[in-house]
Amino acid sequence: MNQLEEYYNKFNEDKRLNSRHGIMEFTVTMKYVHKYIDRLMAESGIEDKGQVKILDIGAGTGRYSIPLCEEGYDMTAVELVKHNLGMLKAKGSAVKAYQGNALKLKRFEDNSFDVSLLFGPMYHLLTEEEQVQALLEAKRVTRPGGYILVAYVMNEYAFLTYGIKEGHVLENIKEGKIDEGFHVRPGEDDLYHFVRTEDIEKINQAAGMTRVQIISPDGPANHMRREVNALTEDQFQEFIKYQLSVCERPDLLGASAHTVDILQK
């Protein structure tokens, strides 16, 4: 069992995704998943959802693949961690779910899917080379004209949350995990790779990918968990409306916890 598997065997991914900041992330992300599925169907002249083949790479416990499958899309999921894969399969959906690695999707032929979702792996691949490789694999299995949606976890979220709010900034600098530009750098024992928008640009260029759009699905919600949890339900719904209205703003992208980069092959 590797370190990542040990982490997810203990970490309650469903609880995170069903938290308020997780609900916001899901709600905004799904708006854009649907936007680009609809665009692909219009561009390709597809009328039947069942003809749209979607691959969820790093599917976790099925937060995205199960609802999309229930909507009628042809869903395939790949997940590295056996514990998460078991939870996905136990939910009894029609998702075709396999254990696999985002760095080598050897099960799938070139140009097999209309849309690929890469929502977890970029968090945990600790080098730019691995991130480029994962994007190249997603590109390989996605057909020409298809869309790839890629999620990243952002540098400023890591610095402000773990460095400042939780008080680890000085020890992290001493350990070499924060450089002179306050870019968080993963150590050998870390599980997350935090990026800035220019890092995402480099990955896209290395993989030869073209961006269509980039959005922030959760904005400041992850930074403000205590405050968000204290909102009434009506207040929280307004906060979601706010994030839906500002999620495309370039001045807010890097300050969010996550971004979703939308690419077309």
Answer whether residue 198 is part of any domain: yes
The reported pLDDT for the residue numbered 191 is: 86
The domain in which residue 207 lies consists of 3-154+192-264
* CA–CA dist 155, 8 (Å, integer): 22
The conformation of residue 100, written as its DSSP 8-state character, comes to -
The reported pLDDT for the residue numbered 15 is: 65
Q: Dihedral (C-alpha) 172, 194, 97, 5: value to the nearest 10 degrees?
A: -10
Answer whether residue 109 is part of any domain: yes
Answer whether residue 167 is part of any domain: no
Residues of the chain predicted below pLDDT 50 = 1
The reported pLDDT for the residue numbered 13 is: 63
57 touches 121 (CB < 8 A)? yes
Answer whether residue 168 is part of any domain: no
The reported pLDDT for the residue numbered 7 is: 59
Q: Dihedral (C-alpha) 204, 209, 213, 219: value to the nearest 10 degrees?
A: -30
* CA–CA dist 232, 229 (Å, integer): 8
The enclosing domain of 138 has a CATH number of 3.40.50.150
3-10 vs 82-90: helix crossing angle, rounded to 10: 40
Amino acid identity for residue 38 in this structure: D
90: number of Cβ within 10 Å: 10
What does pTM read for this prediction? 0.93
Answer whether residue 186 is part of any domain: no
The reported pLDDT for the residue numbered 187 is: 79
Answer whether residue 160 is part of any domain: no
Answer whether residue 63 is part of any domain: yes
Residues in the chain: 265
* CA–CA dist 37, 42 (Å, integer): 9
Considering its fold, how many domains does the chain have in total? Answer: 1
Answer whether residue 162 is part of any domain: no
